[in-house]
Structure 1
Amino acid sequence: MPTRNDAYILMTDHVKNESLQKHMLSVEAAMRAYARKYGEDEELWGIAGLLHDCDYEEYPDLQQHTRIAAEWLREAGYDERIIYAILAHNDLNLETNPRTNLLSKGLYACDEITGMVTATALVRPNKIAGLEASSVRKKMKAKGFAAGVNRDDLVEGAAELGVDLNEHITFVIQAMSEIADTLGLADNTEQKEEALS
């Protein structure tokens, strides 16, 4: 099977938008953390997260999204479990690819929540440092905030995975915090204070 580095190259070949790249890296981080929690294959889960939207920039139409990616990944020799989970995270594919396994439930649960966490962190002075689930929940209620994030998917994703929404948000914040620098969500206030002194 292709490696994580192969997956990263495939993703960046098809996705030039930096925000979308960071979103996919966020989902990868959350998926890896959940794989560790559940004793699952971290590489498999991580690659599913990293590649889940690899066709979205070129094929944003939801009728095509994930189906094009599935073709690319099959041609490149990716594990069918990854392809299945990627197809299953698009609700339009649920008839043929229902979310019946932990991997597909995990991917669906981690997708939208990472967007909400990112949007919430970006409006805070300390970014993701010290971010709590209650702040994310508060922003979820503001309809104009991060309007592209589907609130129903956030709630449904946690429910399908069988985790409490607050615990899920806290878990994803922790996972994303581990790569905060890469995501542009690191707290730089200390560096700014040092530079001023």
Structure 2
Amino acid sequence: MIHYMHLSDLEKRILEISYKNKLSHLSSNLTAVGIIDEIYCIRKYNDPFVLSSGHAGLALYVVLEKYYGLDAEQLYLKHGVHPNRDLNDKIYYSTGSLGCGLPAAIGMALSNRNRTIYCLISDGESFEGSIYESLNIIHQQNIKNLNLFVNLNGYSALEKLNLLRINDIMKMLMPKIEIRPTYHIQNKFPFLNGIKGHYYILEKEEYQKLC
């Protein structure tokens, strides 16, 4: 049994808001939140961050709560599952359709090469053609001010993924890409194992076990 004390504060907050509002995308949020937290630890205050895998919006909201004192649940109620651009809320780009965030981050990086841009994509999202086109553009345009992170959690919306293949292709196109294997995080939550974790809505019994 998982005990609540073994979870990070960010994970607890995701579970709390997800249970209260009957939200899915638990596996996406729980695997993305540590990477987003890592990014916010190293970025400068005004460095833009683009969450290309917008369905992990709740993970962004709880990190914004940690670093800026914004209320994560109120951010969800205001913006929904997928973040909407709102500079007052420190959200730099609206995302939802997979594959759209990285091209926007490239545009930001090209518009001002003296500014550092951060972007997070997911492994399932990489099956959108725009991701690999974007990686080619990063190479062709010699873009140095874009720090790209990948959430390698092992699943797309419909199937288990070949992680070695994804890793090799991305490293070939962008050697300095920051790939973060997160599939082990799902082992902390038995109800997230397999493809069902993408759609699972936390039930009262499971939430009480965690608490």
TM-score by length of 2: 0.35
Give the structure with the larger strand fraction.
Answer: 2
TM-score by length of 1: 0.37
Choose between structure 1 and 2 for higher RCO, CA contacts under 8 A separated by at least 6 residues: 2
